[in-house]
Amino acid sequence: MHDFLGKVAVITGGASGIGRALGERAVAEGMKVVLADVEESPLALAAAELGSGGAPVLPVVTDVTSTAEVESLAERAFAEYGQVNLLCNNAGVFCAGTAWDSSDDDWRWVFDVNVFGIANCLRSFIPRMIESGEQGYVVNTSSMAGLTSMPFVAVYHASKHAVVAMSECLYHELSFKGADIRVSVLCPEAVSTNINGAERNRPASRSATGANNEERQVVNDAIDEAMADAVSATAIAERTFAALRAERFYVLPGDDPWVHLAHRRMAGLRDRENPTFMSPDEVPTLPVDVKGIG
């Protein structure tokens, strides 16, 4: 997709972080924007600020874990604008902990949002996008966590690996169907967002049992520390729109430690090695060709 002017974007998790930055970039490109988020007040503020210059921005409070609310979001978007050209499945949450210590509620909450939230959007939007006959694009937000593995974040990494797999399958399926809809999977590195505060939106039905154990605290502290040098959400939005124009499926950092870790993991798979762990801070300069990645 090369021309965004007058096209329609739907962005989940649009009230803050990457979602809001994607909305800002979409407005700058001359798009009509539907912002969806579970947080009503921040969503209203984001929509007002994005639309302050006259751009059409429609806020729709949406819990992506609810099939009914996502279906309502799709109905509102198509009723308002008649088409959706860019669907950014960006809503996501984070939870740390070991694979065995993470509770059933931990697993279900993270997967409800990060995985089933995307599945709900695909079910509601893809058929409508195909039927409209308009050129379309789907961007699913994963993470470099979807291409690597680390200790004490099993739930989150597993959910983001699932997003990569879903996106690859969607890419193949739309290609086989001959649909004029492209797909990208966004895998950012550490980004300056409030992901570490995701628990604020955790529903009471998914109680945070055991949330204060040692491993979780170590991970949360590390994330807080990483935010000091994290890339901006604006930079991620710029990277994403560059990938859309190039129709590049994998939206990755450039010569970044996370990319080296992903290459290391792929090499381990190729060579049938046992998993090895190295934190991004420990990554040396490796002879890895990352030309063209970004």
Top CATH class, 8-252? alpha beta
Considering the entire predicted model, what is its pTM? Answer: 0.90
Please tell me the predicted confidence (pLDDT) of residue 287. Answer: 47
Closest CA to 261 of 158, 162, 153, 189: 189
Contact (CB, 8 A) for 223 and 11: no
159 exposed, middle or buried (CB, 10 Å; 0-12, 13-18, 19+)? buried
Q: Return d(Cα 277, Cα 126) in angstroms, integer.
A: 38
Q: Is 156 a catalytic residue?
A: yes
Catalytic residue among 81, 156, 171, 250: 156
Closest CA to 115 of 150, 96, 81, 143: 143
Would you give per-residue pLDDT tens digits along the chain (294 residues)? 789 999 999 999 999 999 999 999 999 999 999 999 999 999 999 999 999 999 999 999 999 999 999 999 999 999 999 999 999 999 999 999 899 989 999 999 999 999 999 999 999 999 999 999 999 999 999 999 999 999 999 999 999 999 999 999 999 999 999 999 999 999 998 887 766 566 777 777 777 654 557 776 776 766 666 666 778 999 999 999 999 999 999 999 987 888 989 999 999 999 999 998 877 777 665 444 444 333
Write down the residue that tokens 């949450």 correspond to.
93
Q: Return d(Cα 192, Cα 175) in angstroms, integer.
A: 34
Residue 222 in tokens: 């590390």
* Residue 289 vs residues 100, 247, 264: alpha-carbon distances, Å: 37, 21, 12
Please tell me the predicted confidence (pLDDT) of residue 256. Answer: 83
**Residue extents of the structural domains in the chain:** 8-252, 258-294
Residue 273 in tokens: 């090695």
Residue 177: Cβ within 10 Å count: 11
